[in-house]
Every structure is written in structure tokens, then in C-alpha cells.
Amino acid sequence: MKRPKTPSAPPPSTPPTPQHRQSFTKLINPISSKRRNILQNPQPLPSAAAAIEWKPLKINKSELYLPLTFPTGQTFRWRNTGPLQYTGPIGPHLVSLKQLEGDDVGYFCHFTDSDETARINLFDFLNMGISLNEIWSVFKASDERFAELAMYLEGARVLRQDPLECLIQFICSSNNNIQRITKMVDFISSKGKFLGNVGGFDFFEFPTLDKLASVSEAELREAGFGYRAKYIVGTVAALQSKPGGGMEWLASLRKSDLQGAITGLSTLPGVGPKVAACVALFSLDQHHAIPVDTHVWQIATRYLIPELAGTTLTPRVCSRVADAFVSKYGKYAGWAQTLLFISELPSQKSILPSSLWNTVEKSEIKLQIE
């Protein structure tokens, strides 16, 4: 079985160094090279990144391959901090993951005294209660193309994110590109508690609803959010007005059926069917949610419902596309759709044989979310 090529190593990263919280301006500027004043902060520097003692997750690459899970549009808060290494916040914990030699993934929790709690939260975030091998075996048995793609793209998991964090990220993603989405999400994240710096990147706990409520529409517009600013402010206000609290309401959607979750989310400002489906799939345990955009529609018309080729992507057509995926792949259709979407990204051309190429041009890659 071929293994995806290892990406070239990024420039050497700085050791993980706890710092005082910085303003968002510092997030997008090079970190100061000034020496640390040990009289002001007598704490010793942590060990260098190369000396990190990785703890094994005891999960093989067929269940989790980091480069096919994190930089694929599910979350915009994780960073590549070393060769086959990604770092990001999970609640109040700052965690690094690394693909180890052999057949395992290692994890390391930065600046925490509650390593066991962080590990439990990490397993939940990675959706480890679901066996990727088991559900993919069903997909491969019924879909020859999926079976071929799976040989080269194994380990592409669907994450289980915090619902509020996921919701705000995908409101930012509406008709947007990855680079700009990331800057917006960084700005909002900077309103939360500072967790530390790893590899030259500052990381923050995602802000609470109360903290988000203190951010004005004018401030968001000044930061470049455009029309999305009013949607974020409106959604935060709508969540705060929910009986029992917005966080509890979002969590309750995990117990709802898919249509109930989509309908509930769609009452929030700036949340259309596509954003709602993304939030449902990536945070609300709605494993057969299908986020339909132009690229997913193209996949469907090539392989599932060719009779819809050339049609306009109306709400009715979106519904037929979603139904086609569920009919083909069943209750985990969203996981199958995720792999098929990843296979269309230009970045996978170096991994897939030319017979499996169906990538769109890089200039066309845009999250067309409504």
C-alpha cells in the first residue's frame, strides 16, 4: 500500500515557550528576537522541540494520518509546527501531534498540569470512538473508486470539534478562501485566553460567548470581516438569548436528528444549509451530513447522479446531492464525502496516480459556503 509522500520539512521552529498574552497585531508579525529578561520571568525555558517526549496514541496510520486530517478545511486553528507535526488548542489545552516512525501517532501536551484530562479531550476531539477502518471497509466494498482512493489517502478522519468554535469558523468561511478565513479565525481566537507559543505561532483558547459578545461589529469590520461581521455579532446575540444558554442549546443538537440540527442552526444569522451541514458533520455527531458546494456537486454529478450535470446548484439540487451520498454510503456518508473532497484538492496530485486525478485548478479553490 502506498503511503502519501512526506511533505518537506518547514524551517526549524522555535522551542515551545510560554509567553504573556500578545495583541493580535503580534500574531501576524515576526516574533521579537529580544532576549528574555529572566528577572521579569525567572521560569526556565522549556525543553527544545527536538527533545519533546512524544507519548504514543496507539493508533495506526490507517486510522489517523495528520496531513490528511488537519489542513483539509475542517478546522482553521491548527498549524504545521514541524515535519509531520501539527499543533492546536483543544479547549484549555495546547496539544501537538506528530506522525511517528513506524505505525503510530505521538502527542504532547504543552504547559499543563492536567495531562490525563488533555488526553481524554484529545481522544474526543479526534473522534476515536469511531473506527475509520471499519466504516471505510463498507465504503470500499460498494464503491470501486473509493477503494482505489483509500489506498493512497488512508487516515483522513473527521474531527469532533467544539460546536461554538466550529460554528464561528464556518460563518467566517462563507464565500471565502483559506488564507483569509485563517486570519479571521486568528483574530477571533485572540480574544480568548493565551495558551502559549509553539513553532512561532501563538495559540489561544477559543473565547467564551461572553467574550465574543464584547466584540463589536465595527471592530470586526475594521479587521476585514466584511458582511460576516454582522452575522457573527448576530449569532452570538442569538445564542445568548437561548433558554438555558447558547452552549447548552448547541450541545443539545448532538441528540437531535440531522434535519432538526440543520433547521436549528439555520435560524442563526449567517447560517445557511452549507454552513449548517459543516457544523453538523464536524461538531454535532451528524455523521451523514453532506456539506454541498460546487466541488461536492461536481463529484456527485461525475460519479453518483450524472443526470444532474449542467444544472444550477439550487436548494432542491443540493438536497438531491446530499440524498445521493447518503443512499450510496449510509449513516457515515459525511465521512465518505470528506475523503472524496480531499481527493479533489490540487495538493493531492503528487500522491494520487494520474488515473485518479480529477482536481480543480488551484485558483478555483474557494470555500463556496452559504
Q: List, by residue number, the catalytic residues.
A: 274
> Other C-beta atoms within 10 Å of 17: how many?
16
CA proximity to 83, closest of 168, 165, 199, 230? 199
Torsion of CA 271, 276, 282, 283, to 10 degrees: 80
Identify the three-state secondary structure at position 202: strand
Rounded to whole angstroms, the Cα distance separating 347 from 14 reads 27
CA 65 to chain centre: 14
Q: Cα dist. 272→291, 294, 368 in Å?
A: 11, 15, 12
**Is there a contact between 295 and 360 (Cβ–Cβ < 8 Å)?**
yes
Q: Which residue do the cell numbers 482553521 mark?
A: 76
**Is there a contact between 125 and 90 (Cβ–Cβ < 8 Å)?**
yes
Question: Which amino acid would we find at residue 16?
Answer: P
* Helix %, strand %, coil % of the chain (to 5): 45, 10, 45
Identify the three-state secondary structure at position 207: coil
